[in-house]
Amino acid sequence: MVIAELVSVRAVAEGAALFCAGLGLWRLVEWRRGTARARAVLAGVVPDESGERDERREWRAVAVRWWAVARGRRAWLCLPVAGVVALLGGSPLPLGAGVVAVPLVARRLRAAERRKEREARADRVVALCGAVSGELRAGWQPAQALSFAARQTGALGDEEAVVLAAARFGGDVPEALRRAARQDGADGLAGLAACWQVAVDGGAGLAAGLDRLEAALRDHHEQRERLRAELAGAWATVTVLAVLPAAGLALGAALGADPLRVLLHTPAGLGCLVVGGALEAAGLWWAARIVRGGEPA
């Protein structure tokens, strides 16, 4: 009975590993097909000085495109990793955990991408204030300076056309900037709208106000970076806590204890796995919550 159960479990694990291998092979075939299609599209588009195709630029464009696709599918790497663990442990439980981990990891990766985009947009807003101030001091009109700086920095995002139309045709530029400030990370545009309104209504110098706004935004950015550097040690501690269980399993396997068999094939091991996983998740959540409490909003 036990032998039959072990054979069935191993068959399930091997089937899961074959499925993951087939999925990886399919992705490789799709990648090669997409590469061939991209090469066909890009062929002859970017000529060099002699009129021939620039192979280096072509392959660079293909690499950038597929790197963007791969970054959007990083969460699916949980499946092959779980398949390997399932094959080594002779149990389908790791594969089920990998399936559950895919949406959770994808959610975390999307949150990280949104945070990076928010910070990048905040930096572009700072650059926009400095560029508009510089163009104003060079003698440009406010509408011309805003149009040129917005196209150079891309800080207005999806609202760029609306803001530039308002600036060019005499519309309500402060209101358009306030709507643009509702984008994630573009809060500094509300200050630009206030400076623009004060300059138009009260005749104050727009360049001087933008200089002060840029200095305040840069000071906020530097404060955020200093706080993040101070919290780097705490995040490193959280990372070490997350890696410790896997390191313990690897150490046990190196010593010949076969921890995967104990955890996946014995009642006591399954109980320890469930309780330990719950405690690990709770500990990581609590530690991350403490560290995030010190980060700026």
- Average pLDDT of the residues of the chain: 78
CA–CA dist 132, 202 (Å, integer): 19
Within a 13 Å sphere around the CA of 297, how many CA atoms are in the beta-carbon half?
1
Cβ(119)–Cβ(296) below 8 Å: no
CA–CA dist 253, 259 (Å, integer): 6
Pick the closest to residue 143 from 129, 164, 161 (CA basis).
Answer: 164
Two tokens, residue 246: 């896997």
| 3-class DSSP assignment, residue 53 | strand
> Model-level pTM?
0.65
Q: Does 21 score more than 80 pLDDT?
A: no
Q: Could you tell me the pLDDT band of residue 154, with boundaries at 50, 70 and 90?
A: confident
Q: pLDDT for 191-202, tens place per residue? A: 999 988 888 765
Q: pLDDT for 269-296, tens place per residue? A: 889 889 988 988 888 888 888 887 776 5
Q: Does 247 score more than 60 pLDDT?
A: yes
pLDDT at 15: 60
Q: Give the chain's largest Cα–Cα span.
A: 90
Range scoring the smallest mean pLDDT among 20-24, 84-88, 251-255: 20-24
pLDDT at 14: 59
Range scoring the smallest mean pLDDT among 56-70, 118-132, 214-228: 56-70
pLDDT at 128: 92
Q: pLDDT for 87-140, tens place per residue? A: 888 888 888 888 888 888 888 888 888 888 988 999 999 999 999 988 888 888
CA–CA dist 108, 219 (Å, integer): 29
pLDDT at 20: 58
Q: Does 141 score more than 80 pLDDT?
A: yes
